[in-house]
Amino acid sequence: MNVKEEFELSDSEKEFCVNLAKKSINFSLKNRGLLQLPEKEVSSLSKKFLEKKACFVTLMINKNLRGCIGHITAIQPLFKDIIENARLAAFSDPRFNPLNGTEFNSITIEVSILTNPIDLEYSDSSDLLKKIVKGKDGLIISKGYNSATFLPSVWDEINSKEEFLSHLCLKAGLLPNEWKLSHLRVKRYHSIKAKE
């Protein structure tokens, strides 16, 4: 079964995503709290932003990762998910210190809105490699209590499907070749990217 691209954004809607993420971070820098949009502004939003959607917000400085947090499954309206994940990426990514005001002026923001993950059925490791679409698929792997995901944008840094799976296994706390040794649960999703 293929992932259906059931969600599209216009250029102005993508710009809104990035601006909303930036507004959220700026608000938290100045006020320490979570940005709340006025009811009037919420009621004027496109229906797309009121739908329950999952997103990741990625922050970069000089092409280096500076924070990335998100949800795999939709739990709230998209506009709220952008606001929340932007704040978390800036101030709560455990890999980084909280973003400061100087850095705020240097960040570039990418918002990835995810399609609903669906199970990827495969028979063995070679079949799995055949079914993964390089450059397009985001993957979630799980075995027991271990799980991890890579967004489709990770393909920009990883050249081969084998390397993609091996790094994803390591991220999940598994052996790098676990995808060859046992049958993992694999889900795939796509993303619509909005970036500066």
Query: Tens digits of per-residue pLDDT, 8-41?
Result: 899 999 999 999 999 999 999 999 889 999 999 9
Mention every residue, 6+ apart, whose C-beta is less than 8 A from residue 181. Answer: 175
Domains of the chain: 11-114 (3.30.700.20), 118-190 (3.30.1490.150)
| Two structure tokens written together for 107 | 């960040």
Looking at residue 123, the DSSP 8-state letter turns out to be S
Alpha helices in 36-124 (DSSP H): 39-43, 47-50, 78-91, 101-104
Residue 98: how many other CB atoms lie within 10 Å: 12
Q: Using one digit for the tens of pLDDT, what is the confidence trace for 123-152?
A: 999 999 999 999 999 999 999 999 999 999
Q: Quick check: 187 and 115 in contact, CB under 8 A?
A: no
* Residue 91 pLDDT: 97
Phi-psi region of 81 (alpha: psi -120 to 50; beta: other; left: phi over 0): alpha
Confidence of residue 4 (pLDDT cuts 50, 70, 90): low
Per-residue pLDDT at 1: 41
Q: How many helices (H) and strands (E) does the chain have?
A: 8, 8
Structure tokens at 191: 């993303």
pTM for this prediction: 0.87
77-114 pLDDT, tens digit each: 999 999 999 999 999 999 999 999 999 999 999 999 99
169 phi/psi in degrees, rounded to 5: -60, -45
CB 70 within 8 A of CB 85: yes
